[in-house]
Amino acid sequence: MDKSAVIKDIDELIDTYCIDCPIKRDLRQIRGKAGAHRFCIEQCSVGEQLQFLGNELLKMQEK
């Protein structure tokens, strides 16, 4: 997998699941922006996929 493919996958995930996410929207009102972001990072399966892809990009930069 090359860098552009990983970036495309990240964009597709965000466009498909994150842009209009009702959970994120509700959590922003309840917990604020930081609280909603923490949920996305720690508990959301899409957030886990995004972290994995981000780590793959970092590995590519180290090479």
What average pLDDT does the segment 32-42 reach?
96
For residues 10 and 53, the answer to whether their CB atoms sit within 8 Å is: yes
Inform me whether the pLDDT recorded for 44 exceeds 90.
Answer: yes
The pLDDT of residue 34 is: 97
Q: What domain count does the chain have?
A: 1
Q: How far apart are CA 39 and CA 57, in angstroms?
A: 22
What are 3-15's pLDDT values in tens digits? 999 999 999 999 9
Residue-range definition of the domain harbouring residue 47: 3-62
- Residue 61: pLDDT band (50, 70, 90) is confident
Question: The whole model's pTM is what?
Answer: 0.86
Report the percentage of the chain scoring pLDDT > 90: 94
Query: Could you tell me which residues come within 8 angstroms of residue 2 by beta carbon, excluding any fewer than 6 positions away?
Result: 60
